[in-house]
Amino acid sequence: MAELEKAWGYQGNNMNLPVRDIATAVPFYEKMGFTVMSRRDTPQRSALLARDQVQMQLVENGGDPAQDGCAFWVKDVEALLAEFQGLGLSKETSALKIEYRNGAPWRVFFVVAPDGLCYWFGERQYPSTELP
């Protein structure tokens, strides 16, 4: 079963991801399995979202969503991709591929949300003799 284990914002903060309109953005994330934990109207409109072991916050902060996003360390990236595709998110998801980060191989795919934020979902690949 797929699980999101850790999150990192591309700009250093997964708790300040820019969107133009919270009300328009949130349904897409709910479709991806996130739950709205809280909403605020001040000092800026925001929604705190959670799934599995991670949280992120969408904020109407004037930032450019196309220049931000979040990376997620995933348990069972293949199952997560299949889950998203089964939910009808095929247009928003890329195919699985191998990327190297700090010399380690990762199986990854990307999702671009309608609000423009880009998400990297990756599972580190360990040699059979190395434990996570």
What does the pLDDT look like over 42-88, one tens digit per residue? Answer: 999 999 999 999 999 999 999 999 999 999 999 999 999 999 999 99
Within a domain: 132: no
Amino acid letter at 102?
A: N
90 pLDDT higher than 90: no
Task: State pTM to two decimals.
Answer: 0.92
CATH, residue 15: 3.10.180.10
Per-residue model confidence (pLDDT) at position 29? 97
**Counted domains in the chain:** 1
* Number of residues in the chain: 132
pLDDT category at 127 given cuts 50, 70, 90 is: low
Query: To which residue do tokens 């004037």 refer?
Result: 62
Residue 129 falls inside a structural domain: no
**How remote is the C-alpha of 35 from its chain's centroid?**
13
Range of the domain at 102: 3-124
Q: Does residue 18 sit within a domain?
A: yes
